[in-house]
Structure 1
């Protein structure tokens, strides 16, 4: 059969014929009216009046009909114009693209690691088995055509009159909701389009149906349709599609060997699979099959009416009891996936499609998210696309690196903490259950430059705990937040240099009394680098307070640019400087924010999905990295130098001997929250950032915490992961790329004692010559050392300065002696303190602690050294008005210092109150 070059030519021809018929109708009507007028003159008056009335009614009817015809023609013209406008913006699919889509029975989307390594297909509740046209029963083909589209072999893919009828029915709400869809259109809807019901989609459907009919034979179209049509459930309770799957799942035979009644039953399913399917979710046959059997009889009648079967075949087929032929119930086989990875990719791909669907409908994503019901509709639509439309999702996750992290986690997991088995009440199950609470972990490996997540650990065992602790949980960041919220902004705004002195004395901030670890205080002014390296809490709080209330630096702007959005209430509390958030942050967020320093002060949003490819081969989503300037290059460089001391001399020194590679370009930050609830370490190299967290989920309101040794455990875990990653792909770390010093970062010498220039100052009526040992300090963007001053530090009170200057002038006092405080924040007098002013090393012990303290004498020289081994962690500290705010940190660290001037003492941090209002403590050693 020859086809016209344009689909609309046949349609216009039909319209022309309709116009000719209407013209003939009106011509005959006019002749009758003329004849009636002549006859009226010979009739009686009353008859004449009746005729005039009838003619008037007829005239009005004619005018009304004509008006409706004009309006209809106008509406039809507008419809054609709308259709043409839509089609002008639609890309025309190629033959190869259409063939691939209509013949693809594996409609489930595919998930991939990086480098085209397949992870899995998206689990779909719809199963299909493909078959060929020659392996399908002729009964079934005839039954489907007679039932669904009896003009299938005559039309060109669409039937204009059916389409117009469907449009009028949709607009007016009158008549049967037939949809006007041919088998070709149904195939297009199932394989090429989404399930949305919009005019745009309908217009696209018509265009594609015409194109499918032009390039493919009727045999190809019916074969594809029968392979993908949804057909209810099988005897395992699974949703099925395709006639081969239906034949096997319903009758235990093949599509080729279906009997006439069996074929008629399957052909009746597409109209309403959920109603007509004989099976329930558990695979058992429904008790009431009345609707199913009536539908089968309707199909048989249409086959008989269409001339496909004889009357005897029709009657015989109706008498067959198909219930006896249905398969007995069975159990579906289960499949496994790599849980954390699978769920992460599926969830993020779904979110991307949801946003696209919302925007395609001209809505704003933020607005739709506020309407839970509306958002749920888009969620279901995107979920259906992923399960049934054959998308391909490519990720950034490197399988080799991912597997390495899982192996390390499996090996080290038993060291994380104790398991707690107990009974708890489950609200969902409404009964008591026995649960085992295990210490969990979450880790993220991030490419600094691109923001790509290269690998992660979601938890210890997906079968035991499905929560993804790397992306989906939010925990207190502890002191790992200090570089982000305090030190980074302070360097950027030239509030401090790397050796600026910050007060570490007992202080009451309007009811908030933070301390360092283990309810201790340094009782001295501490250089910024040392305060950061040993994660002292009081200097961090003093610095944040200074930024907030003295220099008016908007810290929130830096945090939000790094992807961490906190509330104004959180920022108003000084405990935020120690990680005291209301909800916390994720491991992904912490790693991404931290990577800002490695990326020259520019933040790049982290991402996992690199691209999504539609079934037709077009890329509908490709990640585009966006860089946001947060800090200057010089600030980032200085922060790197300061945080290198965490590993070289501070709380992370164990990494120096645990890592199997050069650590000269490695830097990081530890973090611990109240009562060892959360343990962190975030570390960077020039190439990557690796962040890891440990803690308990405490699902049922438990209060299980880690121990004081957990910081060491976490860093050992971090080191083993880093070693495994480096052995697998060392180039990722870029260890040979020593950061180039930016022009804005400059070094100047400052006095070790005050962090200022040498000079003369007046204090207490006396002139003091400020001289002594000097050290190099990093300054940002043209800043220079401060002049010698009596008030040289951040956060110091008059009492603190008096203690310092008296000590500087040689008076014996407690300056620099670690002190402890009680629960009320009052200083407890130290019972034993040893000060060694010789250059030799010494070890002193007592019942409380070992203190080998170097002291700045009047010449500014450090004269003591010693040995100590202590631990540290972080605790949550709040303000006096809000005890739920604030965390501080302690870090476990073993330090052996022999014969080196100016080394350690046993001292640390304690901070505020935790979320239960209990006093929290931290303990850690100090290096001056």
Structure 2
């Protein structure tokens, strides 16, 4: 026993010695760190804890001031007597139950911080007092190093010494953030929270209302009852549960009687929350610009904060609550600290683009008006549906966005159609999905011949504009310039045997899936979710950058008030195409502007067009009309179409492509007048040595040769043209000289070549059975969502036919393209509302009986939004039709972050953060 007692005493003594040494080390380490901390004077501390510093400043390019980051945060300071005693008690009971007895810090926090830093266990310390939280909000950055923690503890002790508990509590309640109000604005300070949630001043709150507000600072974005639009969340359980937790802690602390506790728990706060209201914007002219830059700034600063805490950003993004918390921290910094956010937007160019849109916008097409029932108020109201536009102008070499048009009128529609709206690209996808990769893979040269005859690929039968078939072999240059469908499908089919197109799409920043790329119809723009104007411009700009793709960007850098750069854009270049391929594609795309589907631009543009090239695109029924054009310096993409937010199916008319080109020309002219140097019209492209110029026969696209014809070896010659090839010289002409085509097609060609009058090259109407791509499922957007153009006008044809009960000749139907909005820029955004979308009735354009049936789409629970989190919703549409251009097959919508429309192609729909 004595020996055991001796051992225990020695172990206890050793533990005490070791513990003392450990404590000494921690305190010594703490002391060494705080030696460098400059302790403010009482007067300085008074100013710092009671005054919200200047909000962050947003800049155009070249350090030109734009505006303060202050239009979304509402704060009104109040005196202590103007704050409900219940709110004070609720905050103390919830956030810091020992507030009135400690000296600004809890001693164990210092020990925990020291041990954590020395051992590496626990990078962050919890349990901060209200005083420490005040220090973090008003005096320090959100950096989580131990030095910052040590500074926090020292300053908290200093504040507790200089100020009364009542002064500290008032300062905290006048600095904390409390989520959003009924206008969707972020609010700080309890007065704004009380007014924005319940329409009461902070000293008139009930116990339950005070408890709800007191629960918000822990996680404002999670517990706030409102979305970014100011609408009540469908699920308020998180905030209500948090309120009940606060009430229990108040009861446990003895500040509530059991009767008060039970009564407050039963109070129906949902009925007391204010109805949605309209925010007062400081400058609606900068609405799209402010929303874009501020949202991306929050995203990148949140990313920096997470990484600074030792967290992987990908992991943070997978957890909504954690992601929301870091966004809230970033938002607090940007709205209360003087950060500097520098964008790439060229102010003269941006302003000129807006002016041009305002002058020409009314000419874009019909504005529809109709009566709807507001889902929030239940009242009928008149809404309008104008033709919308999204446009982006970016620098080809850097990817910097110089200017954009987000929409027609920000005060009426806040959806950013340049960045967040995804639509079917139609034929505008052909250069970088089909022809560019084909040139790159050495499949074709500029004069290579591609078949344009009636085809049936396992049940998939596309046709050209107007349901026509050219019945001849067409050069790649002409096929692209006139945007024929069948050659594009034939070429894409051949391309897939040579390479995986997804490699090109990934390098170009166009996130098409393997499923989408497995369908031949994708060659005509048939995609599940479409692409954004930003992605279109960025991918197309690659041809002007010698085949190197550089991601487009808007935020150049973010600096702290002290000048520390916490975010700097670094260009990531990927060599998508060879320089030779890019040179050849520019040559081919020049024909689009000089004699193809965009020939009308030549007399509308005020600057030298000798280096201008581009591509048109139109989706089924003129739902989406595109033009993207490049000079050596810039690329500008333009989309026009209807949002169809309320389930309508308004489309543009057949003149949509000419209208969009006229808009493109006017905006380009305005931008050029504002800053001509960015167009780099004096720059010339040197022809790479790897571009081979080969003399080929005009009719075969290959050098002269010989074939076996009718049993005899026959020489083949004729008119020649120069064809450009990517670092190879093709073999001589053979019997099967082109891409695609059957033996019957080649026999027809050669008979005509040697003089037979057999109808070769006679344009005919497609008269075969109307069938669709069997790989496509109802609700998927495939080739039937793609349209093509020919001549001076865009096609309103789908380029393929969907199977229906038909007896007529021509049946071009819409696939029911899924319209989505997807936030590639960082955003949590709004929670959208579900939209009902109905497939239209197919109308007979053939000679048979119309058996088209009305397709109908169901309401998705997501709907149109500008981002955000919402309950995933689905919308499906089904439809059949014998003829007509709108017998919808329906569209599938999956609400992810604002929902997604089913049925007809709508720009309103899903919004998703990156």
TM-score scaled to structure 2, two decimals? 0.68
Q: Residue 802 of structure 1 corresponds to which residue in structure 2?
A: 747
Q: CA deviation at 1:523?
A: 0.8
Q: 632, 637, 640: which is aligned to 1:691?
A: 637
Q: CA deviation at 1:355?
A: 2.1
User: Within 2, Cα distance between the matches of 1:68 and 1:587?
Assistant: 68
Q: Residue 711 of structure 2 corresponds to which residue in structure 1?
A: 765
Q: CA deviation at 1:481?
A: 0.5
Q: CA deviation at 1:273?
A: 10
Q: 782, 793, 798: which is aligned to 2:738?
A: 793
Q: Residue 326 of structure 2 corresponds to which residue in structure 1?
A: 378
Any residues of structure 2 matched to 1:849-864 within 5 Å, and which?
none
Q: CA deviation at 1:192?
A: 4.0
Q: CA deviation at 1:74?
A: 5.3
Cα deviations by residue, 1:158-191 (Å, 9 ceiling, x for unpaired): 896885599999x9xxxxx9968696x5653123
Cα deviations by residue, 1:201-258 (Å, 9 ceiling, x for unpaired): 565132366589999x979xx9999878726899x99999899999xx9xxxxxxxxx
Q: Residue 816 of structure 1 corresponds to which residue in structure 2?
A: 761
**Are 1:530 and 2:478 matched, yes or no?**
yes
Cα deviations by residue, 1:817-860 (Å, 9 ceiling, x for unpaired): 1111137259xxxxxxxxxxxxxxxxxxxxxxxxxxxxxxxxxx
SS at match of 1:445: strand
Q: 467, 488, 502: which is aligned to 1:540?
A: 488
Q: Residue 703 of structure 1 corresponds to which residue in structure 2?
A: 649
SS at match of 1:529: helix
Any residues of structure 2 matched to 1:749-760 within 5 Å, and which?
749-760=695-706
User: Within 2, Cα distance between the matches of 1:542 and 1:649?
Assistant: 23
Instruction: Tell me the number of residue pairs that the alignment of Structure 1 and Structure 2 aligns.
Output: 710
Q: Residue 304 of structure 2 corresponds to which residue in structure 1?
A: 356
User: Within 1, Cα distance between the matches of 2:321 and 2:337?
Assistant: 24
Q: Residue 506 of structure 2 corresponds to which residue in structure 1?
A: 560
Alpha-carbon RMSD across the aligned residues, in angstroms, is: 4.9
Q: CA deviation at 1:889?
A: 3.4
**Are 1:676 and 2:574 matched, yes or no?**
no
Q: 883, 889, 893: which is aligned to 2:787?
A: 889
Q: CA deviation at 1:118?
A: 1.9
Cα deviations by residue, 1:435-454 (Å, 9 ceiling, x for unpaired): 32221110000100111001
**Preserved CA contact (<8 Å) 1:580 1:878:** no
CA distance 1:168–1:605, shift in 2 (3 Å): closer
User: Within 1, Cα distance between the matches of 2:526 and 2:167?
Assistant: 63
* Range 359-368 or range 474-483, more displaced: 359-368
CA distance 1:274–1:533, shift in 2 (3 Å): closer
**Are 1:602 and 2:502 matched, yes or no?**
no
User: Within 1, Cα distance between the matches of 2:502 and 2:775?
Assistant: 22
**Preserved CA contact (<8 Å) 1:230 1:240:** no
**Preserved CA contact (<8 Å) 1:193 1:205:** no
Any residues of structure 2 matched to 1:493-642 within 5 Å, and which?
493-549=441-497, 552-642=498-588
Q: CA deviation at 1:413?
A: 1.6
Q: 710, 713, 737: which is aligned to 2:659?
A: 713
CA distance 1:891–1:62, shift in 2 (3 Å): same
Cα deviations by residue, 1:326-349 (Å, 9 ceiling, x for unpaired): xxxxx9994423211111011111
Q: 421, 430, 441: which is aligned to 1:482?
A: 430
SS at match of 1:750: strand
Q: Which runs of 5+ in 1 are unaligned?
A: 1-51, 132-143, 172-176, 250-260, 262-267, 283-290, 299-330, 827-876, 896-905, 923-928
Q: 911, 914, 923: which is aligned to 2:800?
A: 911
Cα deviations by residue, 1:577-623 (Å, 9 ceiling, x for unpaired): 01110001100001000000100100001100011112333111111
User: Within 1, Cα distance between the matches of 2:170 and 2:464?
Assistant: 72
Q: 422, 439, 444: which is aligned to 1:491?
A: 439
**Preserved CA contact (<8 Å) 1:393 1:611:** yes
Q: Residue 603 of structure 2 corresponds to which residue in structure 1?
A: 657
User: Within 2, Cα distance between the matches of 1:519 and 1:793?
Assistant: 23
User: Within 1, Cα distance between the matches of 2:190 and 2:651?
Assistant: 57
SS at match of 1:584: coil
Cα deviations by residue, 1:143-168 (Å, 9 ceiling, x for unpaired): x9xx989999xxxx989688559999
**Preserved CA contact (<8 Å) 2:465 2:790:** no
SS at match of 1:454: strand
**Preserved CA contact (<8 Å) 1:520 1:908:** no
SS at match of 1:654: helix
Any residues of structure 2 matched to 1:160-309 within 5 Å, and which?
163=110, 188-193=135-140, 200-201=144-145, 203-207=147-151, 210=154, 230=174
CA distance 1:555–1:334, shift in 2 (3 Å): closer
SS at match of 1:911: coil
CA distance 1:751–1:91, shift in 2 (3 Å): farther
Q: Which runs of 5+ in 2 are unaligned?
A: 80-91, 93-97, 120-124, 197-202, 204-209, 218-224, 231-246, 255-276, 803-813, 817-879, 887-914
SS at match of 1:496: coil
SS at match of 1:526: strand
SS at match of 1:805: helix
TM-score scaled to structure 1, two decimals? 0.67
Q: 591, 594, 599: which is aligned to 1:648?
A: 594
User: Within 1, Cα distance between the matches of 2:177 and 2:343?
Assistant: 33
Q: Which has the larger radius of gyration?
A: 1
Q: Residue 59 of structure 2 corresponds to which residue in structure 1?
A: 112
**Preserved CA contact (<8 Å) 1:507 1:513:** yes
SS at match of 2:428: helix
User: Within 2, Cα distance between the matches of 1:617 and 1:539?
Assistant: 56
**Preserved CA contact (<8 Å) 2:389 2:417:** yes
Q: Residue 324 of structure 1 corresponds to which residue in structure 2?
A: none
**Preserved CA contact (<8 Å) 2:430 2:524:** yes
SS at match of 2:800: strand
* Range 406-415 or range 225-234, more displaced: 225-234
Q: Residue 455 of structure 1 corresponds to which residue in structure 2?
A: 403
CA distance 1:126–1:461, shift in 2 (3 Å): closer
Cα deviations by residue, 1:761-800 (Å, 9 ceiling, x for unpaired): 112324433121111111111x113302111110011111
**Preserved CA contact (<8 Å) 1:679 1:693:** yes
Q: CA deviation at 1:643?
A: 0.2
